[in-house]
């Protein structure tokens, strides 16, 4: 699905939260499910919706799509396709031997994109009191314990960038992007309801 906008397919904005993306997917998947009829057109639409959700629901794929317009990362041509480096006058150049100063094409690409590939994205859930009052959250990523200070007044979908907490690459260590989801309670105790009612009256 080259050159297609997954956000348009699901009808969400680029800054949509994971829950908004999931809700949009469920609504469209139910609407366009092949079992409801519609033939080949409905089946194609259903596959398109599923592909969009598979990308936008995966933090790493979503990051790739946001940066390069492709869930697989940057595309440089090659094979039997037209384009690639021949368009820039390098068709007969032997990249495997480097550029005359050591290293080679792999080193250059690693320097350009290594930091992007080393970036990690995760989502954590916090309660309403934690969002309102602030808290310190600890969790594990790739065997490393991460400590995140949640400031008071944190909003649902807010992101925090932790430098040097991502994956290691040749130039150092990437960053960790933490997206915060404020979990809404499905059921309230009598005491909790009274507390929220009191806060409502105060506002």
pTM over 0.85: no
pLDDT, average across residues 184-200? 86
What's the pLDDT at 172?
Answer: 81
Q: For the segment 137-166, what is each residue's pLDDT rounded down to a tens digit?
A: 999 987 889 999 999 999 999 999 998 888
Of the candidate ranges 24-38, 67-81, 134-148, 179-193, the one whose mean pLDDT is the lowest: 67-81
Of the candidate ranges 74-78, 152-156, 191-195, the one whose mean pLDDT is the lowest: 74-78
Q: For the segment 5-44, what is each residue's pLDDT rounded down to a tens digit?
A: 889 999 998 888 888 998 988 888 888 877 777 677 878 8
Helix/strand/coil percentages in the chain, nearest 5: 45, 20, 40
Q: Which fold has domain 116-182?
A: HSP40/DNAj peptide-binding domain (2.60.260)
Residue ranges, CATH 2.60.260.20, the chain: 116-182
Q: Quick count: other Cβ atoms within 10 Å of Cβ 188? A: 12
DSSP string, the chain: -TT--HHHHHT--TT--HHHHHHHHHHHHHHT-GGGS-HHHHHHHHHHHHHHHHHHTSHHHHHHHHHHSSTT------TTSS-GGGGGT-TT--GGG-SSSSS-HHHHHHHHHHHHHT-EEEEEEE-HHHHHH-EEEEEEETTEEEEEEE-TTPPTT-EEEETT-S-EETTEE--EEEEEEEPPPSS--HHHHHHHHHHHHH-
Q: From 147, 172, 176, select the one nearest 160 (Cα to Cα).
A: 176
Tokens of 141: 């990523």
pLDDT band at 82 (very low <50, low <70, confident <90, very high): very low
Q: Which fold has domain 6-68?
A: Helix Hairpins (1.10.287)
Of the candidate ranges 45-54, 61-70, 175-184, the one whose mean pLDDT is the lowest: 61-70
Residue ranges, CATH 1.10.287.110, the chain: 6-68
- On the question of pLDDT at 59 being above 90, the answer is no
């Amino acid at each position: 699905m080259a050159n297609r906008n997954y956000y348009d397919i699901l009808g969400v904005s680029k800054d949509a939260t994971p829950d908004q993306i999931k809700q949009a997917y469920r609504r469209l998947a139910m609407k366009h499910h092949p079992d409801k009829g519609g033939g080949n057109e409905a089946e194609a639409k259903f596959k398109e919706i599923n592909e969009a959700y598979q990308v936008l629901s995966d933090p790493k794929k979503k990051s790739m799509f946001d940066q390069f317009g492709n869930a697989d990362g940057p595309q440089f041509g090659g094979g039997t396709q037209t384009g690639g480096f021949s368009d820039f006058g390098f068709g007969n150049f032997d990249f495997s031997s480097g550029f005359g100063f050591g290293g080679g094409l792999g080193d250059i690409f690693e320097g350009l994109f290594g930091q992007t590939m080393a970036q990690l994205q995760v989502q954590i859930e916090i309660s309403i009191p934690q969002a309102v009052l602030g808290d310190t959250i600890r969790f594990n990523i790739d065997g490393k314990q991460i400590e995140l200070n949640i400031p008071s007044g944190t909003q649902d979908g807010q992101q925090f960038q932790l430098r040097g907490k991502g994956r290691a690459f040749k130039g150092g260590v990437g960053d960790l992007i933490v997206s915060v989801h404020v979990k809404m309670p499905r059921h309230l105790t009598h005491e909790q309801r009274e507390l929220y009612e009191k806060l409502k009256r105060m506002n």
